[in-house]
Structure 1
Amino acid sequence: MPDSVQDDLFADASPPERQPAPGIAASRLSPGQADAKQAPKTAGKSGGVALAPGALQLAELAAQLPAGLRMGVSTWSYPGWDELVWDGAYDASVLSKKGLTAYHQHPLLRTVCVDRTFWRPLTASQYAAFAAQVDAGFRFVVKCPAGVTDAQVRSEDGKPHQSNPAFLDPRLAVECFVEPTLEGLGEKLGVLVFQLSPLPWSWLSRPGALLEKLGVMLAAVRQALAARPQVIVAVEVRDPELLGPALASTLKAHGATFCLGLHGKMPPIEQQLPTLRALWPGPLVCRWNLNRVFGAYGYADAQKKHEPFNEIRSEDLHTRTLLARTIQGITGAGQPAFVTISNDAEGCAPRSIALLAQALAQSGPA
């Protein structure tokens, strides 16, 4: 990688603070402040969901972003986003089924992470129902079911109670995940994410065996994607011990990339970037899941603080600044970037995306 590109991608220094981008009302982007809202509208009017009219004001900002960048949220069924994404108050059940019809029209939201697949596989027809709600240029990020990527079988409270015999099984990965997503999403499939859940010592103490098993599965996945080489395969880990050259070598050998997992259980972004550097040149896949202030298992605390998810309540300027620089360097070198953000990152995913977009617009071309 040329030094100039490497510096853009992985430098730790923060750029100087700038004024809000032209045409974007500062009040819409100010941390800790919710938009003034009118009385809630009738949920599910005419059986559909519409985009908040104010969201179209972000089109000017969207036009300043790198062409290869797609940003979005992880899970979209939040009623608290009325007047940010939705044109009124809708039940979560309505948004879950029909919210993508409005979501995909938002100027800044060009992808979405389908998280629910981690808990239960979806059918091709369920994926097709999602695809039917978005335009031809939209792309999905989809997580592989935990039945394949978790080395342990867990009870309803998340506690492991036995080893998973299907862990990283190539046949199951292809038949229960890759094939249904391909059939249902078609050209709208952008990224397949294989998130390895926290591993027991029996695997962490044998990294060679683990990576060999991972490589066999990735080879099968790539073979199943032979007709769709543009689909990105990304591996996310939840054990810092796995970061390093061996993981990068395995991913590179099988046409996969490393997913930046910004989460309390993992090191901060700057400590994960060397693994991504080892795969250069290549795409960026980033999932900003949980603000580190809440710790490794702080989802409940984060949700309690952030509900109803319409404000920035846990601003993380450090992560946002370095993520913006990483995006700028990677897209500036002609590589695609998929970035999805959770409400648990800063309190309101659509606002975090708008702030990240503003940072990118202010920094100018890479």
Structure 2
Amino acid sequence: MQDDLFGDAADPPKPTTQPVKPATRSRSVQPAPPDADELSLASQLPPLVHLGCSSWSYPGWTGTVWAERYSETQLAKQGLSAYGQHPLLGAVSIDRGFYRPLAASEFERLAQQVPESFRFTVKGPSFVTDALVRGERGQGESLNPGFLDGELARREFVEPAIEGLGAKLGALVFQLSPLPPQLRRRMPELLQRLDTMLAALPPLPQGVVAIEVRDPQWLCPEFAAVLKTRGARYCLGLHPKLPPIDEQLPLLRALWPGPLVCRWNLHRKHGAFGYEDAVAEYGEFERMQDPDLETRQTLARVIRATAEAGQPCYVTISNKAEGSAPWSVRELARAVVSESVAGG
């Protein structure tokens, strides 16, 4: 066979009696085949509505998003392309940017794996969004001099995301971590600092800048005024640290019209510090476990109204919201479509 490779063999190779081995199955991540219900819902969703999950590296989504079980490591590296083929998953939140900012080349690599209609929500780095410098266990050690630094945010976060994601950029979210008590008493100063940061950011050719908070003290008319002046959006944060969704809607009305940015993070039953409790209870996130019908229906109405006004919606959901983010997306899509039917 080696001679034959170079064209020097005089005789053809003898047939073998050995059984032919089947081709090795590819271990690349394959998407689960969509069912008819998912395809029908996707066809009825307004094209401006982009629904998705917070990250994608969860083995428990086998049969829902993945064709078979893959390791968390493989999904983190190779799963986004399969995730993007799911008919209802038209967005994703890149949460790891909070811990380490991504380079433009990393954003570009991610963007190349998804369809043109796909949109990314990206969390800004903690060295801009956290008022405290924290130790290894997350405890605050000192005030952060880079908190709401516009130049730092522009250079390390906004410009790389614009360059790498291009037309697939949905929302750049500055999630402001819980403030220490001494800063919660200085809201006018913080609002001025936020205004200065937003003024320093470059305009986005695609997508929006949004501010998500963890302290209800931010939810005031002065906060809305800063966002409106700077063309930024309030990220509707569905988290027990904040009031329920109905009580946050006045802030959205003050900024109307405009795109909707929402991150549904944690079921209210777990409380303000219940993240680990949710992880322990929901296991591998393979199924819906705590349906939150009230939140879902209200959010569906907001999505539908926003899309009907010609504005895009960037909504991402965590596994900790109801037990399984893909199932939450599916049921939210169903509620949005039902709103459409009810509204005629």
Q: Settle same-fold status: TM greater than 0.5.
A: yes
Counterpart of 1:276 (choices 237, 245, 252) is 252
- Larger-Rg structure: 2
TM-score of the pair, normalised by structure 1: 0.85
SS at the partner of 1:88?
Answer: coil
Is contact 2:34–2:86 with CA below 8 Å preserved after alignment? no
The match for 1:248 among 204, 211, 224 is 224
CA distance in 1, matches of 2:35, 2:142: 47
Q: 1:63 aligns with which of 43, 47, 71?
A: 43
Q: Which amino acid aligns with 2:137?
A: D
Aligned AA (2:129) = T
2:152 and 2:86 map into 1 onto residues whose CA distance is 35
Q: Please say which of residues 47-56 and 203-212 is displaced more in the overlay.
A: 47-56
Query: Structure 2-normalised TM-score?
Result: 0.90
Q: Alpha carbons of 1:55 and 1:189: their partners in 2 closer, same or farther (altered >3 Å)?
A: farther
Greater relative contact order structure (CA < 8 Å, 6+ sep): 1
- The aligned counterpart of 1:235 is 211
Q: Tell me how far 1:276 sits from its aligned partner.
A: 0.8
1:133 and 2:113 are equivalent in the alignment = yes
Equivalents in 2 of 1:45, 1:332: separation in Å?
46
Once the two structures are superposed, the pairs formed by residues 7-156 of structure 1 within 5 Å of their partners are: 46-55=26-35, 57-156=37-136
Contact 1:56 1:107 in 2 (8 A): no
The answer on 1:199 being equivalent to 2:179 is yes
Contact map agreement 1:262 1:290 (CA 8 A) in 2: yes
How far off is 1:55 after superposition?
Answer: 4.7
Measured after TM superposition, the shift of residue 206 of structure 1 is: 1.4
Secondary structure of the 2:56 match is coil
Q: Secondary structure of 2:44's partner? A: coil
For 2:331, the equivalent position in structure 1 comes to 355
Structure 2 equivalent of residue 225 of structure 1: 203
Tell me if structure 2 keeps the 8 A contact 1:55–1:106: no
Tell me the SS of whatever aligns to 1:63: helix
In structure 2, relative to structure 1, the CA distance for the partners of 1:204 and 1:45 (3 Å cut) is farther
Report if the CA contact (8 A) 1:56-1:106 is conserved: no
Q: Which residue of 2 aligns with 1:172?
A: 152
CA contact (8 A) 1:77 1:96 kept: yes
1:292 — aligned with what?
268
Report the AA paired with residue 218 of structure 1: L
Q: Work out whether residues 150 and 200 of structure 2, in 8 Å CA contact, stay in contact via their aligned partners in 1.
A: yes
Whether the 8 Å CA contact 1:257–1:283 is kept in 2: the answer is: yes
> SS of the counterpart of 2:26?
helix
Matches of 1:333 and 1:241, distance apart in 2: 30
Q: Deviations over 1:105-126 (max 9, x none)?
A: 1111111000010111111121
**1:67 to partner: Cα distance:** 2.2
Structure 1 unaligned segments of length 5 or more: list them: 1-43
Residue range with higher mean Cα deviation, 121-130 or 208-217: 121-130
How far did residue 317 of structure 1 move? 0.8
Counterpart amino acid of residue 217 in structure 1? M
Residue pair 2:34, 2:87 contacting (<8 A) in 1 also: no
**Distance in 2 (alpha carbons) for counterparts of 1:291 and 1:307:** 15
Is the Cα–Cα contact under 8 Å of residues 72 and 112 in structure 1 kept in the other structure? yes
Please state if 1:334 is matched with 2:310. Answer: yes
> Counterparts of 1:186 and 1:360 in 2: how far apart (Å)?
28
Quote the offset at 1:145 in angstroms.
0.4
Alpha-carbon distance in 2 for matches of 1:45, 1:117: 34
Code of the residue aligned with 1:355 in structure 2: it is: E
Query: 1:54 offset after TM fit, Å?
Result: 3.3
Contact 1:124-1:181 within 8 A present in 2 as well: yes
1:313 counterpart SS class? coil
1:309 is matched with which residue: 256, 277, 285? 285
Q: Check 1:175–1:116 CA distance in 2 against 1; reply closer, same or farther (3 A cut).
A: same
The CA deviation string for residues 154-177 of structure 1, in whole angstroms up to 9 with x for no partner, is 112211011101001111101110
CA distance in structure 2 between the aligned counterparts of 1:275 and 1:291, rounded to whole angstroms: 21
Partner of 1:26: none
Aligned partners of 2:198, 2:97: CA distance in 1, in Å?
18
Structure 2 alignment gaps of length 5 or more: 1-23
Alpha-carbon displacement from aligned partner over 1:48-77 (angstroms, at most 9, x marks no partner): 211101356511111111221100000110
Indicate the RMSD between aligned Cα atoms, in angstroms.
Answer: 1.4
What percentage of aligned pairs have identical amino acids? 53
Give the 3-state SS of the residue equivalent to 2:261 in structure 1: strand
Residue 213 of structure 1 is aligned with which of 193, 196, 206?
193
- In 2, Cα distance between equivalents of 1:315 and 1:62: 21
- How many residues were matched structurally? 319
Is the Cα contact below 8 Å between 2:177 and 2:214 reproduced in 1? Answer: yes
- Structure 2 counterpart SS, 1:233: strand
Residue identity in the other structure for 2:302: T
Distance in 2 of aligned mates of 1:234 and 1:192: 6
